[in-house]
Amino acid sequence: MNKKGHVLNAALLSLGLGYVLEPSGDVETFRTIIMIGVPVTLGALFPDVDTAFGRHRKTLHNLPVLVGFVAFPYVFGNLEYVWIGVLTHYVLDVAGSKRGIALFYPLWKKEFGLPVGVAVSSRHADVMTMVITVLELALVALIVFEIPQWGFEMGRQMAGL
């Protein structure tokens, strides 16, 4: 996807995340949206820096880079949430665009993409971005709201209650 698609995806994802994590709809929700939205949007813009430095869709579009951003806050105590932006960038490139990305670069140069992807220049690119964003939010909501419930039920049954 192009920069517009990645910003749209990051902004809408952050808006949704704000409401999933802080559903009250008051100033706390707004605060959460800003707190998550700024680093997520920056993270979502980062991988395409490899259009200028390195090999596009390879150098900064791989799992080692993502692992680095996941680990960074634990090691250095800042850059929380940036990994979410990097991850959603990968998801959008893999699922939404035709070309795919080199997930295992530099070990393996093969680019992986899903066959549902559209060309970045396609007029369907924005629709594709919206669909993927909605699916991402549905998955997050499932994890946040449903999985704790399943865990609770399972624990209850195992305890024989």
Interface contacts to Zn ion, rule CB under 5 A: 47-48, 93
Alpha-carbon gap, residue 86 to 78, rounded angstroms: 15
| Residue whose Cβ sits closest to Zn ion | 93
Q: Helix count (H) and strand count (E) of the chain?
A: 6, 0
Asked if 101 contacts 61 with a C-beta cutoff of 8 angstroms, the reply is: yes
Report in angstroms the alpha-carbon separations of 102 from 25, 37, 44, 146.
Answer: 39, 26, 17, 33
What's the min distance (Å) between Cβ of 100 and Zn ion?
A: 10
Shorter beta-carbon distance to Zn ion: residue 124 or 156? 124
Shorter beta-carbon distance to Zn ion: residue 80 or 111? 111
Alpha-carbon gap, residue 16 to 141, rounded angstroms: 9
What's the min distance (Å) between Cβ of 123 and Zn ion?
A: 19
Shorter beta-carbon distance to Zn ion: residue 36 or 92? 92
